[in-house]
């Protein structure tokens, strides 16, 4: 089993100070679980939990791109609570700009958080799980890890990479009794599309009208998203507690619709290219 089905478990949650991460921490504490939460804004998290019993909460300011800081945080959590049962790699932010507009520094910074940060957490947490032959990894991706829109190239690239990493990981650790899942939310009514969580490139190029329209539409979206972060957090807990969710767990009717459309489009592409694909095989010797 991924973790004990009765009694409290220890969760390690990144990106915990706002949005989905903060809601997840709240619900876990309300259910009596132990939570090690990493964030760049510890004060914001603790202030938002006023009135909540936080005796089983460990808040740690961590730069996820710093492997030593991440390793130290995992070790501190294990020292405080014992074994880590569930890891939720949730930290991330968005950048909306054309591929040409994104600078090297912007690309590397986003990948540091959304891919290499998660990788640092995995490297630190997996040895303990592997030794105990139990545990659960939940990586928070996005519907943009399955499809793509103009202007979201960098964000999609990071989420696609996380999807590939997670798929490989699932096959690697299955024999150790460690479960692995991706959750792929659609648009949730959080502050993700507000300043700070959604960044714009420092430079722009002429002519990318589709990207400008996409940007304007997303900046006007807050308050209209279909997804409820509280229900999404509950769904993540269900993924962990049930132990039976598929590798790819969509969250939201919009995510489901977009994923279905993507599958149909990909299938059409594969069939359209089939004739040429089969011409590149080595011809059997006569």
Question: Which residues are the active-site residues?
Answer: 17, 141, 155, 159
Asked if residues 231 and 24 have their Cβ atoms less than 8 Å apart, the reply is no
- CA dist 141 and 250 (Å) reads 9
Q: Which of 205, 20, 4 is nearest to 98 (CA)?
A: 205
Q: Which of 115, 58, 121 is nearest to 87 (CA)?
A: 121
Q: Which of 249, 255, 202 is nearest to 226 (CA)?
A: 255
* Paired sense of beta strands 86-89 and 178-185, if any: unpaired
Ramachandran angles phi, psi of 10, nearest 5°: -105, 120
Ramachandran angles phi, psi of 112, nearest 5°: -60, -40
- CA dist 197 and 190 (Å) reads 10
Q: Which residues of 122-158 are buried (b: 16+ CB within 10 A; e: fewer)?
A: bebbbebbbeeebbbbbbbbbbbbbbebbbbbbbbbb
Asked if residues 44 and 18 have their Cβ atoms less than 8 Å apart, the reply is yes
Task: Return the DSSP state at 73.
Answer: H
Asked if residues 217 and 187 have their Cβ atoms less than 8 Å apart, the reply is no
Q: What is the largest CA-CA distance in the chain?
A: 79
């Amino acid at each position: 089993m991924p973790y004990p089905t009765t009694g409290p478990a220890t969760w390690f949650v990144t990106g915990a100070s706002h949005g989905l991460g903060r809601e997840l921490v709240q619900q876990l504490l309300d259910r009596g679980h132990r939570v090690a939460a990493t964030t760049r804004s510890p004060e914001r998290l603790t202030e938002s939990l006023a009135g909540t019993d936080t005796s089983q909460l460990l808040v740690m300011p961590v730069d996820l791109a710093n492997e030593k800081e991440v390793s130290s945080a995992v070790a501190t959590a294990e020292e405080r609570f014992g074994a880590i049962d569930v890891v939720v790699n949730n930290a991330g932010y968005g950048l909306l700009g054309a591929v040409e507009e994104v600078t090297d520094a912007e690309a590397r910074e986003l990948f540091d958080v959304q891919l290499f940060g998660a990788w640092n957490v995995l490297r630190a947490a997996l040895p303990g799980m592997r030794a105990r032959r139990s545990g659960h990894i939940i990586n928070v991706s996005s519907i943009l890890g399955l499809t793509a829109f103009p202007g979201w190239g960098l964000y999609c690239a990071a989420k696609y990479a996380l999807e590939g990493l997670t798929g490989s990981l699932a096959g690697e650790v299955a024999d150790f009794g460690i479960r692995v899942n991706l959750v792929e939310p659609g648009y949730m009514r959080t502050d993700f599309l507000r300043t700070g969580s959604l960044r714009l490139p420092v430079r722009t190029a002429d002519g990318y009208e589709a990207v400008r329209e996409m940007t304007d539409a997303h900046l006007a979206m807050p308050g209209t998203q279909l997804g409820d972060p509280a229900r999404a957090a509950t769904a993540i807990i269900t993924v962990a507690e049930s132990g039976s969710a598929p590798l790819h767990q969509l969250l939201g009717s919009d995510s489901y619709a977009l994923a279905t459309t993507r599958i149909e489009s990909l299938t059409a592409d594969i069939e359209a290219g089939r004739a040429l694909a089969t011409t590149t095989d080595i011809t059997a010797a006569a």
